[in-house]
Structure 1
Amino acid sequence: MRPDYVDFHTHLDLYPDLAQAIAACERKRVATLAVTTTPKAFERNIELSTDSDFVRVGLGLHPQLVADRHMEIDLFEKLLPRTRYVGEIGLDRGPAHYRSFDLQKLVFGRILRACAKQGDNILSLHSVRATKPVLDMLDEHLPPNRGCVVLHWFTGSKADVRRAVDRGCYFSVNESMLASAPGARVMREIPINRVLTETDGPFITRAGNPIDPGDVERAIEMIASSVGSSFEDLRTQILSNLNRLVQRS
């Protein structure tokens, strides 16, 4: 079955009921990347999504958890051959996590080298206050022909966006990103054929409540408005972008 929408970065296992979250993506026909934050979470996500037409699971080791979970990198490498999708991974140099930044880089480097060896992964990357180090490490450890990168909620400089585009990266954007000045600025620099939508649920909220799994219509409306497109043309473009990304790998 063909999807109607794309949610390329969401945490389905952080909703109250993972099975219901997966069912919501099925019902809405949303091509969904369910990222995980630790390798130990991967098995349950895979088990419950095995029969899903629309949900794929990313193997992750979130940079904000590396200080406490870095020892799970061995499990990550063991599980990697079982999936094409990787995420959430990356670097975070925000105030709460900069002390583990050197350790984050060690873990991220091992992940990138493992992906380069496997050669066909699609990666969803976190880069809070670390856009240049993330791009530097991609250049060092993951040749563009050995994996495809989707930059999640990217807020780098104009030069960072150009650099990412030049190496073939895609960008997943959400409504909170687009509502911020830095996010809107980044959106103006991204070629429309490199854009995917995401929810980053359940972390994004409306009126204090988490947005629903796969609830990307608002993001499509905001992107369409920013580029002068119709909702339907933009929705179709995003589906085409996803198809190109998946076929390219």
Structure 2
Amino acid sequence: MITTATTRQPPRWVDFHCHLDLYRDHAAVIAECDRERVATLAVTTTPKAWKRNRELATASQHVRVALGLHPQLVAERAGELPLFEALLPDARYVGEIGLDAGPRFYRSFPEQERIFERILRVCAEQGGKILTVHSVRSVAKVLDHIEAALPRDRGRVILHWFTGTPAEARRAAAMGCYFSINREMLRSDRHRKLVAGLPLDRLLTETDGPFVEAEGLPVRPTSVADTVTELASLRAVEAGQIARTIIANLRTLVTA
């Protein structure tokens, strides 16, 4: 799992997409993840941020760090792709990566596609990587690139904050993708209906903290407990069942 085989206490919760280095109390949040047993994937937005993030989490039982090159930063950081490739052999987890076709970032979309395809291909070459992927207004393109460049037996994909169509969700599930869900996704009826239709054995929870807020404050990894409660209500099952399922899904993801 995100925790190692020698961890004495298994995780209680999962936050599979959180920007820990963007919290002012970065080290304290890592300690909180360990104390509360939140299996947390700390994503990075540039390759230059990865080493320091990994150093801070090196003694953590429950925090792992992903090597990222965020699509929203490609216009300024495309030159870091060689550094990404140099660091990749030491990184099992990859993210945040992907595509963003929103108005603010559409001008860089061709370059985003180039970077994303290259990342997928080098991940496929090395094998065994677990990728958390951004797909704003670009789900079909993201799935096309994954289908072309990352065979299912060469890596595993989690679609972070998925807001595609039901047809795209079915396609992603058929490709073996997982979906990480945060509380903000469950605010609209459309997205609640979408999440309700996702395969239960492909669900993970996330916060995307500190970007998501609750009562004016950034959510923290422990906030996934609230998301579990909302998912349980959406599925008409007990919260404990959802929590156990998500832990089991994580175990399957990282041991397959």
Asked whether 1:54 is paired with 2:71, we answer no
Residues 32 and 214 in structure 1, CA contact (< 8 A), matched pair in contact too: no
Structure 1 match to 2:172: 164
Q: Deviations over 1:87-117 (max 9, x none)?
A: 0000000010000000000000110001000
What residue identity is the alignment partner of 2:154?
Answer: R
Asked whether 1:103 is paired with 2:115, we answer no
- 173-182 or 226-235, larger mean C-alpha shift: 173-182
Residues 193 and 237 in structure 1, CA contact (< 8 A), matched pair in contact too: yes
Alignment of 1:136-147 (within 5 A): 136-147=144-155
Distance 1:150 1:241 in 2: 11
Distance 1:78 1:214 in 2: 33
Distance 1:150 1:48 in 2: 24
Distance 2:189 2:92 in 1: 34
What residue identity is the alignment partner of 2:216?
Answer: G
Residues 121 and 148 in structure 1, CA contact (< 8 A), matched pair in contact too: yes
What residue identity is the alignment partner of 1:118?
Answer: Q
Distance 1:4 1:132 in 2: 34
Distance 1:17 1:43 in 2: 18
Task: Please list every run of 5 or more consecutive structure 1 residues that lacks an aligned counterpart in the other structure.
Answer: none
Structure 2 match to 1:64: 72
Structure 1 match to 2:226: 218
Task: Please list every run of 5 or more consecutive structure 2 residues that lacks an aligned counterpart in the other structure.
Answer: 1-8
Runs of 4+ with deviation above 6 angstroms: none
CA RMSD of aligned residues (A): 0.8
Pairwise CA distance, 1:184: 1.1
Alignment of 1:17-32 (within 5 A): 17-32=25-40
Pairwise CA distance, 1:213: 2.9
Structure 2 match to 1:37: 45
Pairwise CA distance, 1:24: 1.1
Distance 1:115 1:242 in 2: 20
Residues 224 and 231 in structure 1, CA contact (< 8 A), matched pair in contact too: yes
Identity %: 54
Distance 1:93 1:34 in 2: 24
Match for residue 156 of structure 2 among 148, 171, 178: 148
Structure 2 match to 1:180: 188
Structure 2 match to 1:78: 86
Pairwise CA distance, 1:183: 2.1
Q: Deviations over 1:133-186 (max 9, x none)?
A: 000000110011100000000011111000000011000000001112332122
Structure 2 match to 1:191: 199
Distance 2:155 2:221 in 1: 27
